């Protein structure tokens, strides 16, 4: 039984190789930016006597760590399936998202702790050199630009791991904003503004980290794809020539891909081979149109409403 495909190549999802290449490019851009910022912030922070700028440099260093976690996960996730991992290694991405979420949470807690200590002893805050404010401003612009670039790539390839890493860059931009506000307050004679702002943003970063970690943990526990995507997969199955009905469509996440199990109904009067061909075409269409790593179909017999089961 032959079928003619009406798939639009423009609607096809990116391949694993294309997604891995995009992830690698954007992450290496982040590595370069973070290396420059880490060195500049720590060196200038020490010379300008700005504890906030030094802390921001350490935050940039945490971004470097997360970048290498992403590179490691991308490398392992694109490995082919093997005997120990018959569905592939895509869940390395989920594990990396969990690690990134934990890192964000730790950074947020650290920012809150530092802010509380400063609120307890505001008199220990030193007068800083104005050059620190310029470095903080440059870091803010660089980090915000990096965030927008990385988020655009993450959305294009539909990678939750890259989204998490992009928001880590945004957390560092917020950190630079806090440092800038604190430096302005310091130079204007109001040092208390620095720890107050750091306390607020530290809470935001911690909340962001918890959100990413919780989402990744749910994906590792076989959370289903969202209802809209499941409905789209169901529709593709129903549109396959020869499929009379579809039920029990179940999904689970594998990295940013999906594994699907579905029952399809075919005419009970056709041959086993014909039913198999329909199932193969249904699988091909779903994998071409959606972010599906594998589709397991169970073929059920469909009987005509009039009860006529004779071969036509």
> How far apart are the C-alpha atoms of 11 and 20, rounded to whole Å?
19
Neighbour order of strands in the sheet with 257-267: 245-254, 257-267, 292-302
* 135 CA to centre of own chain: 29
Cα 29 from Cα 31, distance rounded (Å): 5
- Predicted confidence at residue 9, as pLDDT, reads 40
Which pLDDT score, from 0 to 100, does residue 34 have?
Answer: 84
Domains recognised in the chain with CATH numbers: 10-220 (1.20.1510.10), 225-302 (3.30.70.1350)
Tally of CB atoms within 10 A around 293: 20
Taking 60 as the threshold, does the pLDDT of residue 297 lie above it?
A: yes
**Which residues have a Cβ under 8 Å from the Cβ of 263 and sit 6 or more positions away?**
246, 247, 248, 249, 297, 298, 299, 300
Residue pLDDT, tens place only, 115-127? 788 778 777 766 7
Residue 278 has pLDDT above 70, yes or no: yes
Q: Comparing C-alpha atoms, which of 258, 253, 259, 168 is closest to residue 218? A: 253
Running DSSP on this structure, what letter comes out for residue 258?
A: E
Q: pLDDT grade, residue 253 (50/70/90)?
A: confident
- Say yes or no to pLDDT of 311 above 50: no
Half-sphere exposure of 216 (CA within 13 A, CB side): 26
pLDDT tier, 285 (very low <50, low <70, confident <90, very high otherwise):
very high
- Find all residues with CB under 8 Å of 38, minimum gap 6, and list them: 57, 60, 61, 64
- For residue 256 the two structure tokens come to 């940013």
Interatomic CA distance for residues 93 and 75, integer angstroms: 10
Is residue 195 pLDDT above 60, yes or no? Answer: yes
Q: Which residues pair with 297 in a beta bridge?
A: 262
User: Residue 306: which pLDDT band, with cuts at 50, 70 and 90?
Assistant: low
pLDDT tens-digit map of 200-219 = 777 877 887 888 788 888 88
Among residues 31, 51, 32, 30, which one has the least CA distance to residue 42?
51
List beta partners, residue 246.
Answer: 264
Is pLDDT at 237 greater than 90 in this prediction? Answer: yes
3-state SS assignment for residue 21: helix
- pLDDT of res. 7: 45
Residues 6+ apart with CB under 8 A from 75: none
DSSP string computed for 156-213: HHT-HHHHHHHHHHHHHHHHHHHHHHHHHHHHHT-TTHHHHHHHHHHHHHHHHHHHHH
**pTM of this prediction?**
0.61
| pLDDT exceeds cutoff 80 at 90 | no
Query: How many Å apart are CA 251 and CA 263, to the nearest integer?
Result: 12
pLDDT exceeds 50 at position 37: yes
Average pLDDT, rounded, for the chain: 79
Which whole number is the average pLDDT over 157-173?
76
The most confident of the ranges 6-10, 195-199, 242-246 is: 242-246
């Amino acid at each position: 039984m032959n079928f003619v495909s009406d798939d639009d190549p423009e609607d096809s999802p990116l391949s694993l190789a294309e997604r891995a290449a995009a992830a690698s490019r954007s992450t290496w851009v982040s590595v370069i930016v973070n290396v420059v910022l880490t060195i500049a912030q720590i060196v200038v922070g020490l010379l300008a006597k700005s504890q906030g700028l030094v802390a921001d440099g350490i935050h940039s260093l945490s971004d470097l760590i997360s970048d290498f976690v992403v590179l490691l996960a991308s490398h392992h996730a694109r490995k082919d399936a093997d005997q120990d991992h018959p569905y592939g290694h895509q869940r390395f991405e989920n594990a990396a998202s969990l690690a990134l979420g934990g890192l964000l949470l730790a950074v947020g807690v650290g920012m809150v702790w530092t802010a509380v200590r400063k609120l307890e002893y505001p008199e220990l805050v030193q007068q800083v050199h104005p050059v620190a404010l310029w470095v903080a401003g440059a870091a803010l612009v660089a980090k915000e630009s990096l965030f927008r670039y990385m988020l655009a790539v993450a959305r294009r390839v539909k990678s939750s791991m890259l989204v998490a890493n992009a928001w880590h860059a945004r957390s560092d931009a917020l950190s630079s904003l806090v440092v800038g506000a604190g430096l302005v307050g310091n130079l204007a004679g109001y040092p208390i503004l620095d720890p107050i702002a750091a306390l607020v943003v530290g809470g935001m970063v911690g909340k962001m980290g918890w959100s990413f970690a919780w989402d990744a943990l749910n994906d590792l526990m076989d959370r289903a794809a969202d209802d809209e995507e499941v409905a789209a997969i169901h529709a593709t199955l129903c549109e396959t020539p020869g499929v009379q009905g579809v039920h029990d469509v179940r999904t689970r996440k594998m990295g940013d891909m999906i594994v699907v199990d579905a029952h399809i109904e075919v005419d009970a009067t056709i041959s086993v081979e014909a039913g198999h061909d329909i199932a193969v075409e249904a699988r091909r269409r779903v994998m071409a149109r959606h972010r599906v790593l594998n589709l397991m179909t169970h073929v059920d017999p469909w009987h005509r409403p009039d009860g006529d089961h004779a071969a036509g």
